[in-house]
Structure 1
C-alpha cells in the first residue's frame, strides 16, 4: 500500500499528539502543516519532520501532493475549513465535534458524497483495541442483557473569560469540548438513540456550561453521562448487565478493559501499544481511501449527524 500524504491544519496540542502517533502508522506520511503564523508552522514542521510548512490553510488545501487533511482547530472553525478542503478535492479527517450544528454537518456530508471524497469525524476512541474487546464481550453475552451504561469525561480547566474553552464565540463549554466523548462512547455500545433526557448543568459567568450531567434511556437501557471543566471525573465507562459488568478505565483513551461477574474479575484485556492510539484511526482512513470508500462503517455520517442532534437536545435543556 502506498503511503498517503497528510496535511495537518493547526499546530495545537491535539495536532501534536496526532502527528506524534502518525509515526506508528505504516501507511501515513506527515507531508505538510499549516498555521496562521509562518513561524508556528515552521517550528511544528521541524519538530515532527513535515516536508512543508504553510502560513494559511488554503495553501495547504491547494497543494496537489496533499492526499488527506486532518483538521484540529477549535470546533467553530471546523465547518469552513472542512468545506474548503473538500472543495479543493481533499479527503478530510476532522476532529470532533465535526461541526457545531446539525445543518453544518449535513452540508459537509452531502458535499463529501457529491465529490466522492472521504469525510470522517475523528472519533479515535472507536478504533482502540480495548474498546473493540469490550464490545466483543458485550455482543458475546458475557455480561448478559445490558441494563446500564455509565460514562463520564472531565478535567479541571482553569477559568479565563477569554480562554477558548469558556468563550461562547469560540463554541466554548464542556459539552462540545468533552461531552462528545460520553455521548459517542455510549452510542458505541447502545442499539438506539438516547431519549427521555434529563439534564442538570452549571453555567459559568461567560454563559457556557462547565459541568453537565445527562440521564436518559435507550430502549430499556438506563444511561448516565457526565462531563466537566470543574474537576477530573473518573473518566471510566461502565457497561452493566444482569450477569456482570465491564469497566473501561480512562475510556476516551482506553488501553484496557476488565470483565466482572458480580465481585469477581473473570477476564482482562490490556493492549501493548507504545502510542497514544491516534494512529489506529489514521490507519483506518488510509485503508478506506486505498479501497475507494468515502465513508467509514464504524464512524458513519449518520453517527456524526446523530451526535450533533444529541448535543443540540442537551444544549436546549441546559
Structure 2
C-alpha cells in the first residue's frame, strides 16, 4: 500500500515539540500489521523536509519500525506531477481548514481513498461535490472524527441507546484550547478559521454519532478580545445553541461554548467536557481530567491524556503506539484495504463510519453558524440534505 499524507504540521509530525505526531506514528505502528510500501508527505514549507525526516527517525526508533517516508516539496513542484509519476492508494489530509476541499478533490480525482481531518469543509455545496466525486470513483471518503473511537464516548452511546436517561433534553459542551494555538501554531492561516469549526465540530459530530438526531435550526454568538488585539481576525470564543429533532419527533437543545484563549499555563492543551441530560437522568464526561495528574519541577501540573494516542509498553515490554487517535487512522487504512481487495463495497461503511455523507450534518451546522454570526446572531435553519 502506498499512502500520501498532505500536510506536515503538528498532527502529522509533532513538530516543535507539539506532540507525538499522531499520523506518522499511527502509520509506523500499522506498518507492523499491514504492508505499507511507502508514505509520501507533501507540504510547502521549506522547513518541512527536515521536520519529516527527523520525525520519521524518532518514531521508527521508538517503535522499532522501518516505515519508509519520503518528502515531496510543493514549493518547487506541482501537486499534479506527483500523481502522474506514481500510483497511490490512500490520502490522509491534515492541512489548514480552507485547503481541505482542494486537497480532497485532487486526491479523489486521482483515485485515492481519502481520510481528512475535521472539518471536512465549511459549506454544503463543497461537501456535496466531494460526495459525488467519491461515489463516481468508487472510493472511500472519511473524516477523522476520532472521538467516535473514545471508549468514554462509546459508553455514553450505550447509555443513550438503552434508554437509561429517558428522553434527551439537552447536551452542553465546554471546549477550549491554549491561546498559543491561534497565536503561534496556526498563525499562518488562523484568519481563515474559527474555534467552532476547528474544535467545536468534534462534539457536533459526536452528538450525531451518539443519537442520530437531525439538526433543525441554530443561533450563534461570537466574542472578540485578545486575538484581535494581537492582529488576528477571528473570534476569541463562539457560543452556539442548536435545536435537534428527536426520533419521537420531540426536540432537544445542544449548547456549545468554545474558545482558544486559555492561558498557556493550563494543565492540558484542551479543556473539554460535556453533559447529557434526559428526563430520567444525566451523564457527565470530563475529557481533560481523566484521573491522571502529573506534577514535576519541569512540567509543573499536567493532566495527560494517554488514551488519545501515546507510546505505551505492550505486554512484551516494547513500545507500541495506541489510543483512540490511532484507532481512527488504523480503521481507515484497514477499510481501504478491504475495498481494494474486494472484500467490501464502499456502501457497506456508510452507516458505520464518519463518511463524507455523514459529515453533511456537521458541515451544514458550520455553514449555518457562519450565517448566524454574519447576520447579527439571528436564528438560522439547517439544511443537511445531500
TM-score range, shorter chain: 0.7 to 0.9
Aligned residues: 297
**Are 2:194 and 1:173 aligned?**
yes
The 5-angstrom pairing of residues 102-251 of structure 1 reads: 102-158=124-180, 160=183, 163-164=187-188, 166-167=190-191, 171-203=192-224, 205=228, 206-219=232-245, 220-231=251-262, 234-250=271-287
Quick check: 1:214–1:224 contact (8 Å CA) kept in 2? yes
Quick check: 1:151–1:186 contact (8 Å CA) kept in 2? no
Q: Deviations over 1:231-277 (max 9, x none)?
A: 378411222223332222228xx979xxxxxxxxxxxxx97974343
Q: C-alpha displacement at 1:70, in angstroms?
A: 0.5
Give the Cα separation in 1 of the matches to 2:171 and 2:283: 10
The alignment partner of 2:115 has SS state of: strand
Give the Cα separation in 2 of the matches to 1:278 and 1:114: 29
User: What residue in structure 1 maps to residue 328 of structure 2?
Assistant: 281
Q: Deviations over 1:32-64 (max 9, x none)?
A: 212214652354144225332211244544453
Deviates more, 1:205-214 or 1:119-128: 205-214
Deviates more, 1:131-140 or 1:37-46: 37-46
The 5-angstrom pairing of residues 46-65 of structure 1 reads: 46-48=54-56, 49-56=67-74, 57-62=79-84, 64=86
Gaps of 5+ in 1: 257-269
Please give the root-mean-square deviation of Cα atoms over the aligned residues, in Å.
3.0
In structure 2, the CA distance between the partners of 1:160 and 1:127, relative to structure 1 (3 Å rule), is closer
- Structure index of larger Rg: 2
Task: Give the structure-2-normalised TM-score.
Answer: 0.68
Q: C-alpha displacement at 1:198, in angstroms?
A: 2.7
Q: Stretches of 4+ moved more than 6 A in 1?
A: 270-273
**Are 2:106 and 1:84 aligned?**
yes
Q: C-alpha displacement at 1:68, in angstroms?
A: 0.7
Gaps of 5+ in 2: 14-21, 57-66, 246-250, 292-305, 313-321, 340-344, 374-386
Give the Cα separation in 1 of the matches to 2:85 and 2:209: 36
